[in-house]
Amino acid sequence: MTADSGRYAIYFAPGPGTALARFGAEWLGYDVAAGTAATQAAAPGVDLDRLRAITAEPRHYGFHATLKPPFALAPGTDAEGLVEAIAALAAHVAPFATPSLRLARIAGFLALTLAEPCPAMQALADRCVREFDRFRAPLADTELQRRRRAGLSPRQEALLQRWGYPYVMDEFRFHMTLTARLAAEESAIVERALAPLVAPLCAAPLAVDAVSLFHQPAHDAPFRLLQRYRLSG
Q: Is residue 1 domain-resident?
A: no
CATH of the domain at 183: 3.90.1140.10
SS3 of residue 182 by DSSP: coil
pLDDT at 182 (0 to 100): 97
Number of domains in the chain: 1
Q: Is residue 88 domain-resident?
A: yes
Q: Is residue 23 domain-resident?
A: yes
Identify the sign of the CA torsion 104, 107, 110, 111: negative
Average pLDDT for the chain: 96
Identify the sign of the CA torsion 111, 69, 174, 158: negative
**Is the pLDDT at 49 greater than 70, yes or no?**
yes
pLDDT at 4 (0 to 100): 75
pLDDT at 150 (0 to 100): 86
Chain-centroid distance, C-alpha 153:
22
pLDDT at 2 (0 to 100): 63
Identify the sign of the CA torsion 19, 115, 98, 79: positive
Q: Is residue 50 domain-resident?
A: yes
Q: Is residue 138 domain-resident?
A: yes
**Is the pLDDT at 133 greater than 70, yes or no?**
yes
Which residues face 215 on adjacent strands?
8, 224
pLDDT of 186-217, one tens digit each? 999 999 999 999 999 999 999 999 999 999 99
Q: Is residue 2 domain-resident?
A: no
Name the strands in the sheet holding 109-114, side by side, starting at the edge strand that comes first in the sequence: 175-177, 109-114, 96-106, 205-208
Q: Which domain holds residue 40?
A: 7-230
Which residues, 6+ apart, have CB-to-CB distance to 119 below 8 Å? none
Quote the percentage of the chain above a pLDDT of 70: 99
Q: Is residue 221 domain-resident?
A: yes
Q: Is residue 14 domain-resident?
A: yes
Q: How far apart are CA 6 and CA 216, in angstroms?
A: 5
pLDDT at 172 (0 to 100): 98
pTM above 0.85, yes or no: yes
